[in-house]
Amino acid sequence: MAAIEAERLTRSFRRRGRAVEAVRGIDLHVADGEIFGFLGPNGAGKTTTVRMLATLLAPDSGRVSVAGCELPGQIRQARRLIGYVGQTGGADEGMPVLDNLILQARLHRLDQVAARSAAEQTLEALRLRDLADRLPRTLSGGQRRRVALALGLVHRPRVLFLDEPTLGLDPAARAALWEEIRALRVAGTTVFLTTHYLEEADALCDRVGIIDRGRIVASGAPAELKRGIGGDTLTVAVGEHGADRVKDALAGLPFVREIRETSGAVRVYVDNGADAIPAVVRALDTHGVRAVPIGLESAGLDDVFLQHTGSSLRTAGAAEGAEPPAAS
């Protein structure tokens, strides 16, 4: 049974007197017990989609089923079975962490005894016991995100939605939160997370969906998507020479499978990068392009994103018509 299903999901907003299509016909199937990642730049439609799936925003059209509940008809049942952690966390800054968790459990209709027990168990599971009496406003960024995760988990949801869970965290705090998310999968919780961090999607997710301008342009296991690109990637800095000149120099080489321009560089897809570099240097030199840095790497999720959207996720900003704040 699928934990999440969506068919032809759409959502538009009004901005400055005109309609903006934030989500444009999304289809999703997320299996029970997997970590599914929504990968895309700011403004791609990630947050709007996750808010619709988490019952916080009504779609304009399309079918949604979450944790076996059809929406919007079974919205109350669904809310008992799902957890949601937004980008801002949602803790009451003036209330101790333990009291925050008890209140959250009570809001999910646990009685006082069950709510305290669930809160204390969640603190133990997420190694937050020493923060029980602290106010959220006194915590570090990594601690605050773990408390936010605890708030989403205290009622034992079947499906947990995480919107940019590690946004703004340092590498150590991010790695620690990744371990907590992996533990959820081991325990049987389905996790749906949005991110624009390539390494996060690669490290955490069983499958990813790449979203661009409100549409899913590719989906599958990260390794599967990268195999579809294949080979190696050479990144040639453009510098003062200009991208067109670099592309002209390399376009005729027989081992070059594809050339794509990104911000300040040209990415060249080849079967064997180490063997290709000397010929690339010679071709550039012949065209008067000398002493430019050339990087070599295996195909990654950014190359998948580049292939399907024509732009690099590492450099993509919010698209025109970027995702507006959610409205009810």
Backbone φ, ψ for residue 230 (5° rounding): 70, 165
Rounded Cα distance between 131 and 313, Å, is 36
Q: Which CATH superfamily is domain 2-220 in?
A: P-loop containing nucleotide triphosphate hydrolases (3.40.50.300)
Same fold, 2-220 and 231-298: no
Give pLDDT, residue 319. 39
Give pLDDT, residue 85. 92
- Considering the four listed CATH numbers 1.20.5.510, 3.30.70.260, 3.40.50.10490, 3.30.465.10, the one that applies to the domain covering 231-298 is 3.30.70.260
Give pLDDT, residue 88. 81
Task: Give yes or no for a contact between 147 and 100, defined as CB atoms under 8 angstroms apart.
Answer: yes
Give pLDDT, residue 41. 84
**Residues lower than pLDDT 70 in the chain:** 314-328
E strand spans, the chain: 2-15, 18-31, 35-39, 61-66, 69-71, 82-85, 159-163, 190-195, 207-212, 215-220, 232-237, 256-262, 265-270, 294-298
Give pLDDT, residue 328. 31
Rounded Cα distance between 191 and 196, Å, is 16
Please state whether beta strands 159-163 and 82-85 pair in parallel, antiparallel, or not at all (unpaired).
parallel
Give pLDDT, residue 315. 62
Give pLDDT, residue 316. 57
Q: Residues 24-59: pLDDT tens digits?
A: 999 999 999 999 999 988 888 999 999 999 999 999
Q: Residues 80-121: pLDDT tens digits?
A: 999 999 888 789 999 999 999 999 999 999 999 999 999 999
Q: What are the boundaries of each domain within the chain?
A: 2-220, 231-298
Rounded Cα distance between 2 and 16, Å, is 39
Rounded Cα distance between 39 and 13, Å, is 22
